[in-house]
């Protein structure tokens, strides 16, 4: 029985590896290092030429590059939303005395001000968990690199390949900027 289970696990692992190899092949990337930075993915182009900054060597782990790209996109998108969520309450508030500028003059203090019986943190944790559970399947399917971060919301996406590459690069750069901006703003406000 143990021998059969071990054989089944090995064959399942080979099947997953085969699916990963097919996904890489479909997106034009070899499982072996092709010599390009981050396997040739967009995002290394800077205003003054290519900027291939990877001091820890994550881009050399070719089998994990799709997961890293998905994580980078996800963290960048969350940071962009977090930045908007941090700046917008300084200009616009929800109606009600509890949310007024007088009750909470600085938006960074809103977290501490709204802790209590309302269960705000539990609600946030619940809804973020729902979103994570919905998206986790896609992340762990090891989709090809061409569709990293693609959830089908492409109605405003350019139809030509050059325009798509430009939009992907812009999203990566804006996400990277938002991650640094949000981290800096929270650090300075603390």
With vertex at residue 47, the alpha carbon angle to CA 161 and CA 144, rounded to the nearest 5 degrees, is 35
Query: Tell me: the pLDDT tens digits for 46-101?
Result: 667 777 777 787 777 777 777 788 888 889 989 999 999 888 888 888 888 888 88
Q: What's the pTM? A: 0.70
* HSE-up (13 A, CA, CB side) for residue 27: 20
Q: Which two tokens stand for residue 69?
A: 């790209």
Residues making up the chain, counted from first to last: 190
* HSE-up (13 A, CA, CB side) for residue 88: 8
Query: Tell me: the pLDDT tens digits for 158-176?
Result: 888 888 888 888 888 899 9
7 with 14: CB under 8 angstroms?
no
Query: Tell me: the pLDDT tens digits for 91-148?
Result: 888 888 888 888 888 877 777 777 766 566 777 788 888 887 877 766 666 555 556 6
* Cα(52)–Cα(59) distance, integer angstroms: 10
């Amino acid at each position: 029985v143990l021998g059969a289970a071990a054989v089944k696990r090995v064959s399942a692992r080979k099947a997953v590896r085969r699916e990963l190899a097919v996904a890489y092949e479909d997106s034009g990337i070899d499982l072996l290092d092709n010599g390009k930075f981050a396997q040739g993915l967009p995002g290394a182009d800077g205003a003054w030429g290519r900027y291939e900054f990877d001091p820890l060597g994550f881009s050399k782990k070719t089998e994990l590059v799709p997961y890293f790209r998905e994580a980078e996109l996800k963290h960048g998108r969350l940071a962009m939303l977090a930045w908007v969520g941090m700046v917008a309450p300084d200009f616009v508030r929800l109606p009600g005395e509890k949310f007024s500028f007088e009750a909470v003059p600085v938006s960074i203090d809103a977290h501490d001000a709204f802790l209590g019986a309302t269960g705000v943190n539990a609600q946030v944790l619940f809804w973020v968990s729902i979103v994570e559970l919905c998206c986790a399947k896609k992340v762990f399917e090891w989709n090809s690199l061409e569709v990293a971060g693609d959830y089908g919301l492409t109605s405003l996406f350019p139809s030509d390949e050059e325009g798509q590459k430009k939009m992907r690069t812009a999203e990566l750069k804006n996400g990277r900027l938002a991650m640094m901006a949000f981290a800096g703003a929270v650090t300075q406000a603390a």
